[in-house]
């Protein structure tokens, strides 16, 4: 089945080929230079109204603050009443490993209170999510816990749960409490500290002279507020510092990200910091930087550290991470449910500030993913719960 | 009067006249070797290099770029080479991505969490890959399940197994970041890393087997016409199992190399590599051997695509441009070399007769 | 039974030549790159005649047909007339389509669809006023079109379940659709190639019926018998050139063959009797496989044993079963007296395997993607090894040797096998079998798709091998093979040996009677 083109003479084929490539090249440069959102190379310079020296001081202070290990759990009010045991909780797993970790920790907290947690799996498709919520309705548990689902997908089931007076607690969704959802942790507006940690460390470490590349994963909506907070803080603290952004598709993690980052840095030799909106994006990058001879020219900070990045930090291949622990979050969930089961309001949980930390090699706690920020969290929670 | 036989393909007549009319003119071997239809992708590659050399001269045309392209595409190249031998025998192995991941997490586990040492850990991981290859062989040849579906199914089982043992968490450990394990993928030789060497050696080995051994000849025969091959005493079943075992083993090698490169055992390591591997193998089949899946054509294809990706990144184009480039290059390169990729016998014959 | 359609037009051949030809071609040339496939060919078809177009493979007749169909563009300078109206060979117009219809070798049918659907493929379905398909009207049309040929087919059944002749008839009906007879040419390209012997007559009747309706037929065929049975005139091509157009009545098969080949070719060669004194090479006892239900026979060294029989008699199975290439279960015993006296169970995994020339060359015989060299050496590739690699030198020498010995015409040992003519491909297959140096050789349909010149060469080759001691089994549906090669023929009927013919008893009528059981 010879194509028509192959019947043409060689010069004709070459001409067509060159034309096609030229058109593509033109299209790509034209679109690239239009400065659309998410395009690379778009830099912004922070406003220079405030004196750079003042910003630096704040940055130093903030970085020092965040570098301290939290010692208090986010809630201090004891429950005061005996917490009923034997409660059944349904946990709906969003399908990625982060949610599996939430399940595991929720289970630990629940067991302390004599409750059981049943996991309902989803595969990421809206149909599977709906099916999971439907199952939760059928189960008639004492409470439903979930993370990362937009309300629209399960609004009907939510209404049914509300009618049955089954409490629903969530995290990491861009939604408001009410209408059936009793608590949302890690809402977008709670993520301010994440952006602040990244910005303050970069400012402090660079002495106010940073050119940062922010590497983002736009497919995860919950990372958008992280970027916004980062940009705000960066503009304030690191006056005059440049900021570039690139977006990465999910399929490039591990395979293409190292090459993209290395290429960007080679094309923009001024960049001296790279910040990732999610730690997973850094996988494989340190080695690629080394091979390209850039390891000493750039410093890396990741948002939401994980075992891989903590290992990198321990061996000096990555320099800082924003640490956040699922453990702390899930025990707040358990606390909120305990209050609901004992008929108490849960304002304290709604207002709880989950612990964050800025981790560098100096204050590295552990190289595993699953360590609590508050070291004696179990003790503290048990005291609140009267156990 | 013959019964139930088809006449010889009608397309024969024109070319037979050549043979009949005059003795074969010694066509210039070199002219054919360098023709567009033989190595069209190489010309596309050169054109791309030229384009980027003009577009981003300072950064593109450097030793660093050369090293970068080779280093960062070595694992993709290894995965693409995985599927060449099975494809020569017309077997699809769609489980390679998961086999890669499995061997990666296996070696990571044994290096990080046990004291067995790096070499035994590597051997255990390769053993796991070998086991997968044998399972695939059993399913596809023993049970007779079509290879496309069969390996899709075994892949799914492997994925479930990986989730079960890793809980979807990466396996990390300080030993994974240190020598001797890290030296598997990170040893630097004049700017190039060891995986590039693995790629060249394995490509050479596959080339040798397919081109110069009886096994290679029989593999192609099995792929092109299993019925005719069997009539010629070619043990098609054994060869197909062989092809599945080699693809799994090579995927295992890729997984170990990848784990050493990133310093952890990722439970999703192989996922992005499946498509890239097949795209490169198919593009490679149009080069050098006129429709036969071959090693060096595949390597050229991987590097061609990698050059474009890196060049575009150096030129700071938007992130979606890489996908546009890959799609475009595949279409153009295939069309220009008249895209005849060992088409199913049935289709080709009908085309010849109807023509 | 066959309906007469009212049209003018004579039925006999030579008178037609005087009238204005319905199709005329002159100075038709076609060049592909450096090859001149057609050189100044002229062709002229009279109204109401059956005009045969013959020539060996590679003579250019398929190029001619394709150019006429508009698939190829003729070289500039070609002239063509339809009924004295000049037409442009490169323009595919409705007017041309109206008077020039084709049934190509592959019939152009979609076998998964029914006759009704296939007939509607080119012309469209009958529509109701709402625009949906009017199935009853369509069915009526389909039945009428096919019924014209006096055949009863279920127009709703997928054609894959129909017999080959039924499919051919549907293809002809589809080609003639919308054409109620009258002047024009129906081109039939090797229509009997896939038909079993018993159905060929039916088709020939239909071709005559088409002629009766006033349409001329351009009939391309390999088969002498049909040409002399059917055609009024015949045009012979050789090497892309027109050799001549003659009235069939003025020719004999011998003279026609000579025109085609260009030299005197003895088509009635008969094999010399085998020397019985050399002893048996192969003994078979109670062979059962497929349709075979207990066949026993002996095969002597130097003997060429023919196997004849209708489809389903077990003829096609026998050589495969003996050669160890039958995929189903086989039972029975075999003995090779020259090697040992022991009987070997044919069902055993280590039953001996003999070289086999398969029945269907394109699907079983050659690997189309391979070169001549690769096809020839495939079964012996293990013996051409150095330490690990294949020795390219030894391989090339071996292949060159066979090419010389058998006179295989190829552009080179690395030429794709598909560039060889059917006859030369068959020589490659033969070479491959002979190179294995076995004592027994099995051939199936050895001259299928092979031109007459090569046919004779193959007969000579087998005869020569037999003289040197090779024991050969030939299974063929072509009586010419059995006549030309065999000294003894076993005729199978319903899975057992019904008759054995030796020497002068082997004649076409005897074979036919024996196969059909009417002796």
Q: What is the pLDDT of residue C491?
A: 93
SS3 B325: helix
- Grade residue A222 by pLDDT with cuts at 50, 70 and 90: confident
Q: Is residue B266 part of a domain?
A: yes
Which residue on chain C is closest to B231 by alpha carbon? C325
> Cβ separation of B72 and A29 shorter than 8 Å?
no
Round to whole Å and give the CA distance between C210 and C186: 9
Whether the pLDDT of residue B25 is over 50: the answer is no
CATH class of C267-354+438-519: alpha beta
Distance from CA of A364 to the nearest CA of B (A): 14
Are the C-beta atoms of C318 and C295 separated by less than 8 Å? yes
Whether the pLDDT of residue B104 is over 60: the answer is yes
Q: What is the pLDDT of residue B138?
A: 97
Round to whole Å and give the CA distance between C240 and C236: 10
Q: Domain ranges for chain A, please list them.
A: 37-68+191-324, 88-186+326-344+376-385
Round to whole Å and give the CA distance between C321 and C307: 13
Q: How many residues can be counted in chain A? A: 387
* pLDDT per position as a tens digit, A320-366: 999 998 898 999 999 999 999 999 999 999 988 999 999 999 999 98
Q: pLDDT > 70: what percent of chain B?
A: 86
SS3 C475: strand
Round to whole Å and give the CA distance between B140 and B242: 12
Residue bearing the bigger pLDDT, B323 or C318: C318
Edge-first strand order for the sheet with C344-345 is: C292-300, C280-289, C330-335, C344-345
When CB atoms are compared, the residue of B55, B75, B168 closest to A97 is: B168
The reply to whether omega before B180 is within 30° of 0 (cis) is: yes
Whether the pLDDT of residue A103 is over 70: the answer is yes
Q: Is residue B25 part of a domain?
A: no
Tokens describing residue C503: 């020497």
Give one DSSP letter per residue of C434-454, joined into a string: HTT--SEEEEESTTTT--HHH
Asked if chain B contacts chain A via 3 or more Cβ pairs within 8 Å, the reply is yes
Residue A30 at interface with chain B, using a CB cutoff of 8 Å? no
Edge-first strand order for the sheet with A299-303 is: A44-45, A242-247, A211-216, A273-276, A299-303, A320-324, A356-360
Q: Sort out which chain A residues have CB atoms less than 8 A from B185's CB and list them.
A: 287
Whether the pLDDT of residue A229 is over 90: the answer is yes
SS3 C148: coil
Tokens describing residue B122: 């590597």
Q: How many CB pairs under 8 A join B and C?
A: 202
> Cβ separation of B231 and C364 shorter than 8 Å?
yes
Distance from CA of C4 to the nearest CA of B (A): 29
When CB atoms are compared, the residue of C63, C411, C448 closest to B2 is: C448
Q: What is the pLDDT of residue A17?
A: 67
Angle made by CA atoms A277, A278, A282, in degrees to the nearest 5: 105
Asked if chain C contacts chain A via 3 or more Cβ pairs within 8 Å, the reply is no
Q: Is residue B273 part of a domain?
A: yes
> Cβ separation of B324 and A308 shorter than 8 Å?
no
Tokens describing residue C197: 């012997």
Asked if chain C contacts chain B via 3 or more Cβ pairs within 8 Å, the reply is yes
Whether the pLDDT of residue A47 is over 70: the answer is no
SS (H, E, C) chain A: CCCHHHHCCHHHHHHHHHHHHHHHHHHHHHHHCCCCCCCCCCCEECCCCCCHHHHHHHHHHHHHHHCCCCCCCCCCCCCCCCCCCCCEEEEEECCCHHHHHHHHHHHHHHHHCCCEEEEEECCCCHHHHHHHHHHHHHHCCCEEEEECCCHHHHHHHHHHHHHCCCCEEEECCCCCCECCEEEEECCHHHHHHHHHHHHHHHHHHHCCCCEEEEEECCCCHHHHHHHHHHHHHHHHHCCCCEEEEEECCHHHCCCCHHHHHHHHHHHCCCCCEEEECCHHHHCCHHHHHHHCCCCCCCEEEEECCCHHHHHHHHCCCCCEEEEECHHHHHHHHHHHHHHHHCCCCCHHHHCCCCCEEEEEHHHCCCCCCCCCCCCCHHHHHHHHHCC
Beta bridge partners of C356: C442
Looking at residues B252-278, what average pLDDT do you find?
Answer: 93
- Grade residue A31 by pLDDT with cuts at 50, 70 and 90: low
Give me the residue label for tokens 């190249």.
Answer: B77
Q: What subunits make at least 3 CB pairs under 8 angstroms with A?
A: B
Round to whole Å and give the CA distance between A212 and A276: 10
Q: Sort out which chain C residues have CB atoms less than 8 A from B225's CB and list them.
A: 363-364, 366-369
Residue A264 at interface with chain B, using a CB cutoff of 8 Å? yes
Which residue on chain B is closest to C356 by alpha carbon? B231
Q: What is the pLDDT of residue A19?
A: 66
ipTM: 0.80
Which residue on chain B is closest to A217 by alpha carbon? B319
* pLDDT per position as a tens digit, B334-351: 776 654 444 443 344 333
> Cβ separation of C367 and B224 shorter than 8 Å?
yes
Residue A256 at interface with chain B, using a CB cutoff of 8 Å? yes
Residue A103 at interface with chain B, using a CB cutoff of 8 Å? no
Number of folded domains in chain B?
1
Per DSSP, C158 falls in state B
Round to whole Å and give the CA distance between C515 and C519: 9
Residues 317-336 of A with CB under 8 A from B: 317
Please check whether the two domains, C14-261 and C267-354+438-519, share a CATH topology: yes
Round to whole Å and give the CA distance between A243 and A228: 12
**Could you tell me the CATH number of the domain that includes residue B202?**
1.10.3470
Looking at residues B219-229, what average pLDDT do you find?
Answer: 94
Of the candidates C175, C176, C220, C193, the one whose C-alpha atom is nearest the C-alpha of residue C63 is C220
Round to whole Å and give the CA distance between C234 and C249: 10
How far is C-alpha C144 from the chain's CA centre? Answer: 31
Q: Phi/psi of residue C185, each to 5°?
A: -130, 130
> Cβ separation of C390 and B224 shorter than 8 Å?
no
CATH (residue range A37-68+191-324): 3.40.50.2300
Which residue on chain B is closest to C39 by alpha carbon? B17
Give one DSSP letter per residue of B295-313, joined into a string: HHHHHHHHHHHHHHHHHHH
Contacts of C343 (CB under 8 A, 6+ apart): C285, C333, C334, C335
> Cβ separation of C410 and B12 shorter than 8 Å?
no
Residue B326 at interface with chain A, using a CB cutoff of 8 Å? no
Are the C-beta atoms of C197 and B3 separated by less than 8 Å? yes
Which residue on chain B is closest to C31 by alpha carbon? B14
A88-186+326-344+376-385, CATH topology level: Rossmann fold (3.40.50)
Round to whole Å and give the CA distance between A275 and C123: 67
Distance from CA of B326 to the nearest CA of C (A): 29
Q: How many CB atoms lie within 10 A of CB C77?
A: 10
Which residue on chain A is closest to B63 by alpha carbon? A292
* pLDDT per position as a tens digit, B65-95: 999 999 999 999 999 999 999 999 999 999 9
Q: Phi/psi of residue A43, each to 5°?
A: -115, 155
Beta bridge partners of C23: C45, C82
Are the C-beta atoms of A256 and A196 separated by less than 8 Å? no
Q: What is the pLDDT of residue A1?
A: 36
- Grade residue B221 by pLDDT with cuts at 50, 70 and 90: very high
Tokens describing residue A34: 């239009």
Looking at residues B137-157, what average pLDDT do you find?
Answer: 96
Are the C-beta atoms of A321 and A348 separated by less than 8 Å? no
> Cβ separation of C378 and B3 shorter than 8 Å?
no
Looking at residues B293-306, what average pLDDT do you find?
Answer: 94
Q: Which of A183-187, B18-22, C30-34, C375-379 has the lowest mean pLDDT?
A: B18-22
Residue bearing the bigger pLDDT, B298 or C195: B298
Are the C-beta atoms of A211 and A320 separated by less than 8 Å? no
> Cβ separation of C57 and B12 shorter than 8 Å?
yes
Which residue on chain B is closest to C310 by alpha carbon? B3
Round to whole Å and give the CA distance between B216 and B232: 15
Q: Is residue B16 part of a domain?
A: no
> Cβ separation of A284 and B261 shorter than 8 Å?
yes
Residue A292 at interface with chain B, using a CB cutoff of 8 Å? yes
Are the C-beta atoms of B267 and B163 separated by less than 8 Å? yes
Residue bearing the bigger pLDDT, A305 or B290: A305
Q: What is the pLDDT of residue C78?
A: 87
Q: Using a CB cutoff of 8 Å and minimum separation of 24, what contacts does C160-163 make?
A: C160/C111, C160/C112, C162/C115, C163/C199
Angle made by CA atoms C77, C82, C85, in degrees to the nearest 5: 80
Q: Which domain holds residue B178?
A: 38-354
Distance from CA of A310 to the nearest CA of B (A): 9
The helix or strand, by DSSP H or E, that contains position B256, with its residue range, turns out to be helix B236-262
Q: Identify from A215, A311, A366 which residue to disrupt to test chain B contact, counting B C-beta atoms within 10 A and taking the largest count.
A: A311
Which residue on chain B is closest to C366 by alpha carbon? B228
pTM above 0.95, yes or no: no
When CB atoms are compared, the residue of B168, B314, B351 closest to A267 is: B314
Looking at residues B195-210, what average pLDDT do you find?
Answer: 96
Q: Where are the alpha helices (DSSP H) in C185-316?
A: 197-212, 224-230, 253-261
Rounded to the nearest 10 degrees, the angle between the axes of helix C422-434 and helix C392-406 is: 120
Residue B33 at interface with chain A, using a CB cutoff of 8 Å? no
Q: What is the pLDDT of residue C1?
A: 34
Q: Is residue B240 part of a domain?
A: yes
pLDDT tens string for chain C (519 positions)? 333 333 333 444 444 445 688 889 999 998 876 677 888 999 999 988 999 999 876 678 888 888 888 888 888 888 888 888 888 877 766 666 778 888 887 777 888 888 888 888 877 777 888 888 888 888 888 888 888 777 778 888 898 888 877 888 888 888 877 666 667 899 998 888 767 667 788 888 888 988 888 889 999 987 788 889 899 999 999 888 899 999 999 998 888 888 887 776 666 667 766 665 677 888 999 999 988 999 999 998 889 999 998 878 889 899 999 998 888 889 999 988 888 888 888 888 888 889 999 988 888 899 999 999 999 999 999 888 888 899 999 999 999 999 999 989 888 889 889 888 888 899 999 999 999 999 999 999 898 878 778 888 899 999 999 989 899 999 998 888 888 899 899 999 888 999 999 888 888 788 878 887 764
Of the candidates B328, B244, B337, the one whose C-alpha atom is nearest the C-alpha of residue B284 is B337
Distance from CA of B230 to the nearest CA of A (A): 27
Q: Domain ranges for chain C, please list them.
A: 14-261, 267-354+438-519, 368-432
Of the candidates B85, B352, B333, the one whose C-alpha atom is nearest the C-alpha of residue B222 is B85
> Cβ separation of B338 and A307 shorter than 8 Å?
no
Contacts of B96 (CB under 8 A, 6+ apart): B79, B82, B83, B247, B248, B251, B270, B273, B274, B277
Q: What is the pLDDT of residue C235?
A: 93
CATH class of C14-261: alpha beta
Residues 154-213 of B with CB under 8 A from A: 167-170, 172-174, 176-178, 182, 185-186, 188, 191, 193
């Amino acid at each position: 089945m010879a194509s028509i083109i192959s019947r043409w003479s060689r010069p004709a084929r070459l001409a067509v080929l060159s034309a096609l490539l030229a058109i593509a090249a033109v299209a790509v440069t034209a679109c690239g230079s239009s400065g659309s959102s998410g395009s690379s190379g778009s830099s912004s310079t922070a406003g220079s109204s405030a004196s750079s020296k003042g910003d630096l001081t704040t940055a130093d202070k903030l970085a020092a603050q965040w570098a301290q290990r939290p010692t208090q759990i986010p809630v201090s009010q004891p429950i005061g009443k005996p917490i009923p045991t034997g409660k059944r909780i349904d946990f709906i797993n969003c399908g990625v490993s982060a949610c599996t970790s939430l399940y595991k920790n929720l289970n630990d907290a629940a067991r302390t209170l004599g409750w059981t947690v049943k996991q309902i799996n989803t595969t990421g498709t809206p149909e599977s999510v709906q099916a999971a919520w439907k199952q939760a309705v059928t189960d008639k548990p004492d409470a439903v816990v979930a993370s990362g689902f937009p309300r629209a997908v399960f609004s009907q089931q939510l209404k049914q749960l509300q009618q049955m007076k089954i409490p629903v607690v969530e995290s990491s969704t861009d939604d408001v409490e009410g209408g059936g959802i009793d608590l949302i942790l890690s809402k977008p507006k709670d993520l301010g500290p994440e952006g602040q940690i990244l910005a303050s460390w970069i400012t402090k470490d660079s002495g106010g002279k940073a050119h940062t590349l922010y590497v983002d994963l736009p497919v995860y909506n919950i990372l958008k507020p992280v970027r916004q907070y980062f940009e705000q803080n960066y503009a304030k603290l690191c006056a005059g510092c440049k900021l570039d952004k690139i977006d990465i598709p999910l399929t490039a993690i591990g395979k293409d990200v190292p090459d993209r980052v290395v290429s960007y840095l080679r094309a923009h030799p001024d960049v001296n910091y790279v910040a990732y909106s999610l730690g997973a994006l850094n996988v494989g990058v340190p080695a690629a930087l080394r091979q390209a001879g850039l390891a000493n020219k750039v410093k890396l900070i990741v948002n939401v550290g994980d075992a891989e990045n903590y290992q990198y930090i321990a061996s000096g291949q990555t320099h800082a991470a924003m640490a956040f622990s699922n453990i702390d979050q899930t025990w707040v969930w358990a606390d909120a449910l305990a209050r609901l089961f004992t008929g108490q309001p849960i304002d304290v949980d709604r207002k709880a500030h989950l612990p964050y930390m800025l981790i560098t090699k100096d204050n590295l706690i552990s190289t595993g993913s699953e360590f609590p920020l508050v070291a004696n969290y179990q003790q503290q929670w048990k005291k609140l719960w009267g156990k | 009067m013959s019964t139930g036989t088809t006449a010889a393909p009608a397309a024969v007549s024109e070319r037979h006249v050549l043979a009949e009319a005059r003795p074969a003119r010694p066509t210039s071997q070199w002219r054919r070797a360098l023709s567009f239809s033989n190595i069209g992708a190489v010309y596309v590659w050169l054109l791309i290099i030229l384009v980027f050399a003009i577009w981003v001269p300072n950064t593109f045309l450097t030793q660093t770029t050369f090293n970068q392209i080779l280093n960062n595409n070595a694992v993709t190249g290894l995965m693409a080479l995985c599927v060449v031998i099975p494809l020569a025998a017309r077997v699809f192995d769609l489980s390679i991505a998961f086999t890669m991941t499995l061997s990666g997490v296996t070696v990571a586990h044994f290096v990080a969490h046990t004291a067995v040492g790096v070499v035994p850990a590597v051997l255990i991981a390769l053993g796991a890959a070998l086991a997968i290859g044998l399972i695939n062989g059993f399913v596809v040849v023993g049970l007779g399940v079509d290879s496309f579906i069969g390996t899709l199914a075994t892949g799914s089982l492997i994925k479930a197994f990986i989730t079960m043992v890793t809980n979807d968490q990466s396996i990390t450990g300080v030993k994974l970041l240190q020598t001797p394990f890290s030296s598997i993928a990170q040893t630097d030789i004049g700017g190039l890393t060891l995986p590039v060497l693995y790629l060249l050696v394995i490509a050479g080995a596959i080339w040798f087997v397919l081109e110069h051994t009886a096994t290679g000849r029989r593999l192609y025969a099995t792929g092109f016409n299993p019925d005719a091959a069997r009539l010629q005493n070619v043990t098609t079943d054994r060869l197909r199992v062989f092809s599945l075992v080699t693809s799994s083993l090579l995927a295992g090698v890729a997984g170990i190399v990848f784990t050493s490169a990133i310093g952890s055992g990722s439970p999703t390591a192989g996922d992005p590599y499946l498509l890239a591997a097949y795209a490169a193998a198919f593009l490679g089949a149009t080069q050098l051997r006129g429709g036969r899946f071959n090693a060096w054509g595949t390597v050229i294809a991987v590097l061609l695509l990698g050059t474009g990706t890196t060049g575009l990144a150096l030129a700071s184009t938007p992130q979606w441009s890489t996908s546009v480039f890959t799609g475009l290059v595949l279409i153009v390169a295939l069309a220009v070399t008249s895209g005849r990729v060992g088409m199913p016998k049935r289709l080709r014959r009908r085309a010849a007769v109807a023509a | 039974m066959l309906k007469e359609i009212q049209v003018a037009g004579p039925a006999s051949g030579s008178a037609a030549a005087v009238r204005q030809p319905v199709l005329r071609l002159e100075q038709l040339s076609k060049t592909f790159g450096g090859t001149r496939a057609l050189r100044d060919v002229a062709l002229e078809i009279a109204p109401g005649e059956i005009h045969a177009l013959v020539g060996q493979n590679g003579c250019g007749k398929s190029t001619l047909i394709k150019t006429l169909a508009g698939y190829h563009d003729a070289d500039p300078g070609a002239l063509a007339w339809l009924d004295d109206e000049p037409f442009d060979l490169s323009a595919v117009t409705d007017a041309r389509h109206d008077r020039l219809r084709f049934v190509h070798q592959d019939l152009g049918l979609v076998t998964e669809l029914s006759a009704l659907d296939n007939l509607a493929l080119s012309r469209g379905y009958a529509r109701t006023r709402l625009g949906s398909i009017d199935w009853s009207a369509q069915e009526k049309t389909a039945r009428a079109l096919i019924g014209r040929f006096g055949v009863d087919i279920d127009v709703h059944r997928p054609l894959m379940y129909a017999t080959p002749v039924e499919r051919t008839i549907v293809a002809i009906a589809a080609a003639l659709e919308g054409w109620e007879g009258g002047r024009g040419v129906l081109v039939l390209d090797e229509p009997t190639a896939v038909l079993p012997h018993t159905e060929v007559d039916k088709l020939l009747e239909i071709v005559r019926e088409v002629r009766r309706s006033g349409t001329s037929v351009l009939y391309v065929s390999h088969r002498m018998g049909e040409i002399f049975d059917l055609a009024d005139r015949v045009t012979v091509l050789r090497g892309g050139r027109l050799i001549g157009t003659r009235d069939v009545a003025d020719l004999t098969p011998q003279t026609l063959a000579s025109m085609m080949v260009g030299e005197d070719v003895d088509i009635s060669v008969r094999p010399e009797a085998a020397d019985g004194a050399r002893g048996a090479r192969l003994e078979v006892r109670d062979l059962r496989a497929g349709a075979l239900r207990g066949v026993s026979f002996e095969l002597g060294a130097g003997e060429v044993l023919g196997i004849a029989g209708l489809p389903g008699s077990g003829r096609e199975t026998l050589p495969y079963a003996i050669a160890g290439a039958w995929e189903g279960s086989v039972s029975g015993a075999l003995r090779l007296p020259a090697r040992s006296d022991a009987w070997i169970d044919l069902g055993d995994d280590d039953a001996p395997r003999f070289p086999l020339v398969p029945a269907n060359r394109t699907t079983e015989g050659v690997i189309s993607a391979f070169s001549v060299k690769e096809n020839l050496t495939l079964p012996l590739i293990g013996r051409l090894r150095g330490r690990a690699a294949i020795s390219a030198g030894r391989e090339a020498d071996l292949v060159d040797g066979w090419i010389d010995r058998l006179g295989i015409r190829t552009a080179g040992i690395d030429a794709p096998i598909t560039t060889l003519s059917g006859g030369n491909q068959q020589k490659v297959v033969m070479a491959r079998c002979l190179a294995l140096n076995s004592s027994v050789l099995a051939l199936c349909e050895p001259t299928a798709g092979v031109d007459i010149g090569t046919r004779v060469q193959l007969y000579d080759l087998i005869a020569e091998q037999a003289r040197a001691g090779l024991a050969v089994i030939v299974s063929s549906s072509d009586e010419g093979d059995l006549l030309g090669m065999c000294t003894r023929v076993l005729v199978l009927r319903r899975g057992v040996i019904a008759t054995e013919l030796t020497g002068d008893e082997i004649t076409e009528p005897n074979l036919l009677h024996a196969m059909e059981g009417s002796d």
